[in-house]
Amino acid sequence: MDITLNSQISGDSPSSSTSSTIQTPSTSNHHHHHHQNGGTPINNNNDPNPMHSWWESISKARSRIHLLSSLLLPSDSSAADSLSSLADSDRPARSLLLSPAAYFSISSSLSSPSSGSGDDPLCHWLYDTFLSSDTDLRLVVLSFIPLLASIYLSRIHSSTCTTSLSGFEAVLLALYSAETKARNGKPILISIPDLSQPSLYHTPRNPTSTKSNPRSSGPQNQRPSVGVLSQPLEHQVAVKSTKRACIVGVALDSYYKQISHMPTWSKLDLCKFAADWAGQNCACVSDFDETDGNSENSVEISNGSLEGVCETMENLGIEDGYDELRPKGVRIPLPWELLQPVVRILGHCLLGPLNAEDVKDAASVAVRRLYARASHDLAPQAILATRSLIQLDKRGREAAKVAATATVVSNANTPSKAKKPEILLVSK
């Protein structure tokens, strides 16, 4: 990873527009395999021998894990042995991705006060690992994007932080450059259905003319059928203050595209940080839960904490001290270019059928906090998005409660079959 500092930061605020210049994948002289479908890794190896390609991938993953072990745990032999055991598995990169102990170790290092600088070896490891063509190794880096983004944004918006964060910025720019190349200068478009039709799937056989429909004002006033979800990305070689939200948002969007592969503890971290970014808790978060005096479906919120998250971390096998070592997020500016990917991720965490209940509860708290923040900021897009998720969450919980009640009643009314009397054969 080549990092060239434009200026030596000594006492200057890290939030200034001049930051570190990073030689990103798009400007590097090395040859890297970039991926289509929004950064989804693909196999560009033309090696005719598949066994050779498989063994090369295994060897590369093992070398990256051994290097990580030497960076994180030079004195902790037990933890080093744990990482070494991951390298000896049949799929070492996948084992690293799904290891809560490895996640805890890397999180602890990323959370240290001295992390994030240009000479941080862990940031170098994340940067170089993301540039590899191995699918699982890239997923390992993506799983730490919520934590890295939270630490970076919290420090950059803190008046007490005067250290350089060029290491964090290098990793974020690597993701941004990969996504920029994947989009190839084109915006992300979505189709908008015509709500004047009987259904979203209805297409009229003969378009209605102005003569047959006097109420029609002509084709020039018809609603556009295509909307712009994201504007084309511009090439960036440094994280400027005016582009910071966009770069972090694109990194989070890359995380969202692979969220089905992300481990539970990574999703929980993002929900926790999103709730912290929204700011102090207020009464707005419970507006949708006060219906008919029944608050059984509401998510418990106590003193700004996410109920059950710490217990979930412990149940997943993560060390008891993780909650104390985890950085506490702070209230930060939330422009739409940063908030949009966060809301999309929370939507998956909230409505994904395979997500654990603790992930859904944490996402429910975060969405309500963001709704309260958007209501105070008078942000129409954020209000509509978060309010829709809250309503979907509430209806889903009510439907689940009704289904559970019906199952209990059905089981209670189902008569149990009488056992047949046992016949004993006795010889005379």
Check: CB of residue 360 under 8 Å from CB of residue 400. Answer: no
Q: Looking at residue 5, what is its pLDDT? A: 39
Nearest to 130 by CA among 179, 166, 83: 179
Nearest to 219 by CA among 204, 203, 208: 208
Is 242 in the same domain as 282?
no
Residue 370 in any domain: the answer is yes
Q: Looking at residue 191, what is its pLDDT? A: 81
Q: Looking at residue 140, what is its pLDDT? A: 96
Our count of domains for the chain comes to 2
Is 336 in the same domain as 357?
yes
Q: What is the pLDDT along the chain (428 residues), one digit of tens a residue?
A: 444 434 333 334 344 443 444 444 333 444 444 433 444 444 445 555 667 677 788 889 999 999 998 887 655 556 666 787 888 888 899 999 999 989 988 998 899 888 999 999 999 999 999 998 888 999 999 999 999 999 999 999 887 777 789 999 999 999 999 999 999 989 988 887 777 777 767 666 665 554 445 454 444 445 557 888 888 999 998 999 999 999 999 999 999 999 999 999 999 999 999 999 998 767 666 666 654 444 444 444 444 444 454 555 455 444 444 455 455 668 899 999 999 999 999 999 999 989 999 999 999 999 999 999 999 999 999 999 999 999 999 998 898 888 888 877 777 667 666 666 666 666 55
Is 229 in the same domain as 84?
yes
CB burial readout 124-146, b (16+ within 10 A) else e? bbbbebbbbbbbbbbbbbbbbbb
Residue 205 in any domain: the answer is no
Residue 215 in any domain: the answer is no
Residue 152 in any domain: the answer is yes
For residue range 81-96, list pLDDT tens digits in order.
678 788 888 889 999 9
Is 166 in the same domain as 191?
yes
pTM: predicted TM-score of the whole model, two decimal places:
0.73
Is 248 in the same domain as 268?
no
SS (H, E, C) 300-349: CEECCEECCHHHHHHHCCCCCCHHHHCCCCCCCCCCHHHHHHHHHHHHHH
Is 159 in the same domain as 245?
yes
Q: What domain range includes position 242?
A: 55-199+225-252
Is 245 in the same domain as 340?
no
Classify burial at 240, counting beta carbons within 10 Å of its beta carbon; exposed 0-12, middle 13-18, buried 19 or more: middle
Residues in contact with 138: Cβ distance below 8 Å, sequence separation at least 6, in sequence order: 41, 129, 130, 132
Query: Number of helices (H) and strands (E), helices first, in the chain?
Result: 16, 6
Residue 212 in any domain: the answer is no
Is 278 in the same domain as 235?
no
What is residue 423's DSSP assignment?
-
Residue 137 in any domain: the answer is yes
Is 69 in the same domain as 172?
yes
Phi then psi for 31, rounded to 5 degrees?
-95, 120
Cα separation, 385 vs 362, whole angstroms: 17
Token representation of residue 55: 């063994």
Residue 114 in any domain: the answer is yes
Is 184 in the same domain as 282?
no
Is 236 in the same domain as 277?
no
Q: Give me the sign of the Cα torsion angle 374, 380, 382, 384.
A: positive
Residue 121 in any domain: the answer is yes
Beta bridge partners of 21: 4, 238
Is 147 in the same domain as 269?
no
